[in-house]
């Protein structure tokens, strides 16, 4: 595995080594020793998966301490624009985001440590998104920021009338109203 540093400290794009032959391909989507060697010491406790149609936007979400989650995200089928926003108070990159295209073809992954908002936009129909988390889901600690927050100015690369949102994600607060515990 190749751990590529991003502009935001502790946020990594992970490129697995892929073995291909006439049968198909094989790669390790997670290897504890590789993560430890990269300085990422994490204990995953839950795996999640979603299926979404093109234009579905899920996010921007996080969980407050002590239920914060680190996430290892990837796409099994299809493509997404994945977004991680730094909400760690005192961080030099507080309020900045990283945008990465993940797909079933490039097999890239993104390690998002606790202290980040996370969201993704599906770029193809029948996109299967999978992620490992370091903390169990806790509904009462869940919070988020609206996807089109003017202060964050995230370039989702799609017209707002083409985006499919849940009722919950349509009513999230603005970034300026965020009271981050990180």
Query: In whole numbers, what is the pLDDT of the chain averaged over residues?
Result: 96
- Catalytic residue ranges: 61, 131
Q: d(Cα 157, Cα 154) in Å, to the nearest integer? A: 9
Q: pTM for the whole thing?
A: 0.94
Which residue, among 76, 94, 74, 77, has the nearest Cα to 85 in the 3D structure? Answer: 94
Q: How far is CA 71 from CA 77, 91, 103, 150, 167, in A?
A: 18, 19, 17, 25, 24
Right CATH for 2-177 from 2.60.120.10, 3.40.50.300, 1.10.1060.10, 1.10.540.10: 2.60.120.10
Render pLDDT for 110-130 as a digit per residue (tens, 0 to 9).
999 999 999 999 999 999 999
pLDDT band at 36 (very low <50, low <70, confident <90, very high): very high
The domain limits of the chain are 2-177
Place of tokens 């770029």: 123
């Amino acid at each position: 595995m190749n751990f590529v540093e991003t502009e935001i400290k502790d946020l990594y794009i992970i490129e697995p080594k892929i073995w291909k032959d006439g049968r198909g391909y094989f790669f390790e989507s997670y290897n504890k020793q590789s993560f430890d060697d990269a300085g990422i010491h994490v204990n995953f406790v839950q795996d999640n998966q979603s299926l979404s149609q093109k234009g579905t936007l899920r996010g921007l979400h996080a969980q407050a301490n002590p239920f914060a989650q680190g996430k290892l995200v990837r796409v099994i089928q299809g493509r997404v624009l994945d977004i991680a926003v730094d909400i760690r108070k005192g961080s030099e990159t507080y309020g900045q985001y990283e945008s990465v295209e993940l797909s079933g073809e490039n097999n890239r992954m993104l390690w998002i440590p606790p202290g980040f908002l996370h969201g993704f936009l599906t770029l193809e129909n029948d996109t299967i998104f999978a992620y490992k988390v370091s903390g169990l889901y806790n509904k009462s600690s869940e919070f988020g920021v609206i996807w089109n927050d003017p202060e964050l100015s995230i370039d989702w690369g799609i017209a707002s009338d083409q985006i499919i949102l849940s009722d919950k994600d349509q009513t999230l607060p603005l970034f300026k109203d965020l009271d981050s515990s990180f």
